[in-house]
């Protein structure tokens, strides 16, 4: 099976409700879909969101990076030579992690198809059933409480609460949600870099003193402020998770050596795809550090790849934040991973198992 060409499409899927964080507000998934074709007629699918505020990637940069730098390297390559192909993708250009991830996901999809097994089995196997949390967007307190109650009633047992806009209001938001769902759901806070180190210690300390038990707090300070991350981690009881602070394996090693966080959030759009995500999971496992698998605003195309990874690397990936498909108004994918609210299951279909993508606009 040899790669012959790469084609692009635009996927637009409205969200059920606006996605609001300390960094941005989004109303729809608008992602680049990558279709990698082969001489056997098999097609591998990948996806990349334009998350400029985090990865720096835009729709235009994703297409240009693939078309001008990555595609010329991988066209003509045998899919069986997976490690060689991922090396070519990663070495094609600096950064551009979402573009690299989209192509890698498609190639891994083809690798599974080549050998007739679902991707998670090609990665080592595992239990093909996981559960995810769901995001509660930043909003006025009554709305966030109502959204939290609704999520719990739909079967979600972990809530990821977006904060970081106004620290005083943030504390009241969390207290109100805790009071509404206590004993029915775990609470995870995501400040999206919205606090200073001292603010984070103050806010988390107040919540701890008020009896609010948090499973974790994600990225409380600016991405590059590793000293700030370490400052917070050392001064609170609640586990601190790094997200925007860690993209690749070398950053994970540095973070672990500094003891600047308790948990690592792996996202394929930060790591540049599955190859580096696997390395991060293995590094974390060696050091006894837990990982979460997360996603940007993505549909079930690329999130499916993250699901397969989570299944295969369950020793390191102990927490799941793959709610992108649950936030979408509909699932544009026929086949592949099955997303049923908090429950995510993997079929025995080869690769990612995607048969069709509805509403894809050719580019």
20 is catalytic: no
143 is catalytic: no
- The region that residue 157 occupies, defined by phi over 0 for left and psi between -120 and 50 for alpha, beta otherwise, is alpha
190 is in an annotated binding site: yes
Residue 201 contacts residue 235 (beta carbons within 8 Å):
yes
295 is in an annotated binding site: yes
Positions of E strands within the chain: 3-20, 25-38, 43-49, 129-131, 134-136, 158-162, 186-190, 216-218, 240-242, 263-267, 290-294, 317-321, 333-335, 338-340, 343-345, 354-357, 361-362
The Cα 69–Cα 267 span in angstroms is 23
Which residues contact residue 298 at a Cβ distance below 8 angstroms, ignoring those fewer than 6 apart? 29, 31, 47, 49, 269, 324
Cα separations in angstroms, 162 against 135, 141, 204, 300, 313 = 7, 12, 14, 22, 27
244 is in an annotated binding site: no
Cα separations in angstroms, 213 against 60, 154, 216, 218 = 43, 22, 9, 14
The Cα 324–Cα 132 span in angstroms is 10
291 is in an annotated binding site: no
> Measuring CA to CA, which residue among 113, 121, 156 is closest to residue 136?
156
Annotated catalytic residue within 20, 100, 162, 313: 162
In 173-194, which positions are buried (b, 16+ CB within 10 angstroms) versus exposed (e)? bbbebbeebeeebbbbbbbbbb
35 is in an annotated binding site: no
Which residues contact residue 284 at a Cβ distance below 8 angstroms, ignoring those fewer than 6 apart? 252, 256, 264, 290, 291, 316
51 is in an annotated binding site: no
Longest CA–CA separation in the chain, Å: 62
297 is in an annotated binding site: yes
> What is the enclosing helix (H) or strand (E) of 152?
helix 141-153
Annotated catalytic residue within 20, 100, 230, 267: 267
- Interstrand relation of 290-294 and 317-321 (parallel, antiparallel or unpaired): parallel
225 is in an annotated binding site: no
- Write out the catalytic residue numbers: 162, 267
Write out the binding residues for substrate. Answer: 24, 135, 160, 295, 297, 321, 323
Write out the binding residues. Answer: 24, 135, 160, 190, 218, 243, 295, 297, 321, 323
């Amino acid at each position: 099976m040899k790669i012959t060409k790469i084609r692009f499409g635009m996927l637009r899927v409205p969200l059920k409700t606006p996605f609001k964080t300390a960094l941005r507000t989004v109303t729809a998934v608008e992602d680049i879909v990558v279709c990698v074709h082969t001489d056997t007629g098999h097609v591998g699918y990948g996806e990349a969101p334009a998350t400029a505020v985090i990865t720096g990637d835009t729709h235009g940069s994703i297409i240009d990076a693939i078309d001008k730098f990555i595609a010329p390297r991988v066209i003509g390559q045998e899919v069986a030579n997976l490690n060689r192909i991922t090396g070519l993708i990663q070495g094609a250009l600096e950064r551009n992690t979402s573009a690299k991830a989209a192509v890698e996901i498609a190639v891994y999809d083809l690798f599974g198809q080549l050998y007739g097994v679902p991707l998670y089995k090609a990665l080592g196997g595992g239990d093909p059933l996981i559960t995810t949390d769901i995001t509660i967007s930043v909003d006025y307190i009554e709305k966030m409480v109502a959204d939290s109650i609704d999520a719990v009633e739909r079967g979600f047992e972990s809530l990821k609460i977006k904060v970081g806009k106004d620290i005083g209001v943030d504390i009241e938001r969390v207290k109100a949600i805790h009071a509404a769902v206590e004993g029915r759901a775990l609470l995870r806070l995501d400040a999206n870099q919205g606090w200073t180190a001292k603010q984070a210690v103050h806010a988390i300390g107040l919540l701890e003193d008020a009896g609010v038990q948090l499973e974790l707090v994600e990225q409380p300070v600016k991405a590059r402020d590793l000293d700030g991350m370490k400052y917070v981690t050392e001064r609170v009881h609640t586990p601190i998770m790094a997200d925007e602070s860690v993209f690749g394996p070398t950053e994970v090693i540095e973070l672990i050596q500094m003891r600047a966080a308790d948990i690592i959030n792996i996202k394929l759009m930060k790591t540049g795809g599955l190859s580096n995500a696997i390395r991060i999971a293995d590094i974390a496992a060696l050091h006894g550090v837990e990982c979460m698998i997360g996603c940007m605003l993505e549909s079930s195309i690329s999130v499916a790849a993250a699901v397969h990874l989570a299944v295969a690397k369950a020793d390191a990936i102990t927490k799941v934040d793959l709610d992108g498909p649950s936030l979408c108004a509909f699932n544009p994918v026929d086949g592949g991973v099955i997303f049923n609210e908090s429950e995510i299951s993997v079929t025995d279909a080869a690769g990612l198992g995607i048969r069709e993508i509805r509403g894809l606009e050719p580019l």
